[in-house]
Every structure is written in structure tokens, then in C-alpha cells.
Amino acid sequence: MADRPPKKGIRRLSPVGKPPRPGRKEAPPPRGRPAEERPKAEQTAPKRSEAPRKSGGGAPYGKGPGGKRGKGGKGGGRGPPRDFDAVAETMPPEPLPILAPKERRMRVFRSARTDDAYGKAPEDRTVEELMRFGVIILDKTQGPTSHQVVAWVRDALGIEKIGHGGTLDPKVSGVLPTLLGEATKVVKPLQGVGKEYIAVMRLHGDAPEEKIRAEARRFIGKVRQVPPVRSAVARRQRVRRIYDLEVLQIDGRDVLLRVTCEGGTYIRNLCVDLGKAIGVRGHMAELRRTRTGLFNEDEAISLHDLIDALQFWREDNDQTPIRSCILPYERAIAHLPRVIVRDSAVDAVCHGAELAAPGIVAMEEGIQKGDGVALYTLKGEALALGDAVMATGDAERAESGIVIKPSRVLLPAGTYPSVWKGRMAVGG
């Protein structure tokens, strides 16, 4: 048999009893002591390639889920699951203010009056205006995608602009806030609010209840996740916060969970990681979203309810059902700190001007520099979203200077009279 060419990086010795090939130097003798001079234990030690493999080691070294082999090739039992490294930082449970109404403590800077001739309180809007500045809390059913659901709502209402506050997979049901018309401007702050889910995790093996509950508690805190293959975002690792993870019920291998988490958390990934931590693996069998920010499933309506309400309004001129279905879009940003603006400064902000201290009537306590805030008129209309340049205490003491930099104007220009003169900053 012809000699095979030596592999790159490996020095090959000439065959025993044969002279080296012409033009080649004879290979030097191997390093170390000859075999006959070494201790007996070293002579009988197996070579590295003959050493027995360690059993276990997870999918990289043996068979993984479904009988597929990992990197280990032959041999190796299934062993414990792979180290998933999902929990980045453990922390005790903490309250989530954006999932529950909190007491608003406003600090009034100065007295002011509003002119009833301009603007309108959110509850006084007509049905047509609600379709332009409203939000519908839908109870999405299993089957259609979120995009299909909002498209049906768009066609039923006869509007052009529509959006939703967080995608739900076709097999997932629950709360789906749907924003109408100009209300789509608040999609981004709504998508970032906390969410609450009820999930069924199905384990792939039996596990003691104490182990399940103990591992679930470990996931409260920050976790690292990579979005699934079928997702609308880039598949790179990111950190999300789990505010609470409660085991509600255990029935055999089915575990009922209540998850309170940061927006953008993948519950499917969470169930997979929790199953690995328990030691038997698992997957998400069912999922329902029960809360998005301050919206919960108790006030969610079905598509059938919406269609019926539209028929009552269009055919019988009965506005009561449709008004209960379409809420003012101010509800979608109710979790943000509030800043009340006087009438004389409203139109300036509508044109993008920065808000100075004299233009503020009241400001919520606890606002710090850099916090995102929502600006409101004296009638309660959402005026704009912005970033605080001063904390509440500093703004109260200031007689001049920029306090809020608007980032997104919500109220149409011209709703209030233009009485400002400055180009960049307005103070009333």
C-alpha cells in the first residue's frame, strides 16, 4: 500500500527497516526515555485516543434530544442537560409599577386656567375622534397572527393607520392593545411596558415539586435570551428582566406558571431554559397574555364585540357600546410620569419647541433628569412625549431654563391658539 502523504503540521517517521527517501533527512528519535526504561505504569497507560470517554456531559458529548449526536461523536450517555447559563443575575422580587395603577402625586408650580373654547377633554371626544385618537384592547384568539387581527380591525373601522402594542404568535391568545390613527405614535412606549403571562410548561420527565419551585425562583431577575429563529428581530443575545415567576399548579409533567416580565421577553425560551435547569428539559405547551402595562384581560373585548358595537352605532346611533370598546389613547401612556402644560405653551410644543419652566403648571414627583415623561394639557389631552432636562425639585425652583425636550408630538398643531414668540423654547 502506498504511503499516504503526512498530514500538515505532523512530522512522520520513516517506516521501520526502510531507509529514508532520497533527499530527506532521517527523522530524529522521539523525545523522552525509551519505553523499556520507563516505569511499568507508564508503559501500560492507554494512549489518548484509547482513553475511555467520560459518560454524560450533555448534548455536546453524547446524544441530545431526539437521539441526535452532539460534538462528542461515538459513546457517551445522554447525561444531564447542557449548561444553558440563562440566569445572569438573581434578585429578590420587586413590584412592577407599570402593571398596577400608582398614586399620582403632582407638585403644583403655579395656578392656571384653561379656555374651554380650545381643545377637548379625552372623554368628550366624538366617536369619529376616538377612531383617530383611540385604543382598543382586543382579546386575541388562537389562530390568526397579530397582523391579521389588526388588519381586520382596520377594515371594519374604515381607517388607514393602525398598530398594536406587542406581537402575539398565532398559537398565543390574550391582550393585544390596538392603536388607531394618530394613536400609533405611542406604539413604542407601549411596547416597552411590562407584560404578564399564564403559561403551561410541559416537562420531558418527572421532577420533584420542590425542585421545580426552587429553580423557578432562581429565574427571578435578569436573564439572557436569544430570539427564536422565527422572529422579527435580529438573533443576538439580549438581557431581559423577570419580575416574578410563580408556579401556580403542577399536574404530572404540566406546570402552570404566571410570569411577570419586561417587554420583549420570550416565554418559549424561558420554558426551555427552566426545563434545562430542572434537569429533565421542557417546552411551552400553551400561553396567554393576561396583562400589558395597565391593560388587563378583564377589559379586553373580542372582535365580535367590536363588530356588534359598530353595528349599533351605525344603524341605531347607539354610541354606548362603541365608546366602551374604544378608549382614549391617553390610557396607553398612563404609566409615564406626567407634566401639565399651560394653554399658552401648548401650540409651541406642538411645533416642536422645548418647554421652559414658566410653561409648566404641575409636574409629577420623583422625575429625574433623563427620565421619559408625557406632557398633558390642562384638559388632560396627551400633548407630547419628551425627556426631562431637570428633576422635579429643580424645575420647581427654576424661574427660567429648559425643563422638557419633546421627542414626539402627539397633539395636532393649531388645536390651541398660537401666542408664543420664541423659536426654540417656550415658557408661556
Distances (CA, A) of 294 to 164, 331, 334: 15, 8, 8
- In 3D space, the residue among 297, 240, 300, 301 whose CA is nearest the CA of residue 268 turns out to be 240
Residue 146 to residue 270: CA distance in whole angstroms = 21
Q: What values do phi and psi take at 238, rounded to 5?
A: -145, 160
- The catalytically annotated residue of 3, 85, 169, 305 is 169
Pairing of strands 173-181, 133-140: antiparallel
- Name the residue among 128, 112, 111, 114 with its Cα closest to residue 379: 114
Give the 3-state secondary structure of residue 386.
strand
User: How far, in Å, CA of 375 to CA of 243, rounded?
Assistant: 28
Cross-strand pairs, 376: 340, 382
User: Quick check: helix, strand or coil at residue 222?
Assistant: strand
Please report the beta strands in 104-172, taking only residues with DSSP state E, as ranges in sequence order. 106-108, 133-140, 162-164
- Whole-number Å distance between alpha carbons of 181 and 152: 15
Is 308 marked active-site? no
CA-to-CA distance for 135 and 332, rounded, in angstroms? Answer: 7
What does the alpha-carbon distance between residue 409 and residue 341 come to, in Å, rounded to a whole number? 13
Residue 406 grid coordinates: 419633546
C-alpha 340/C-alpha 319 separation (Å) is 30
Q: Tell how far CA 34 is from the center of its chain.
A: 64
Residues classed as catalytic: 169
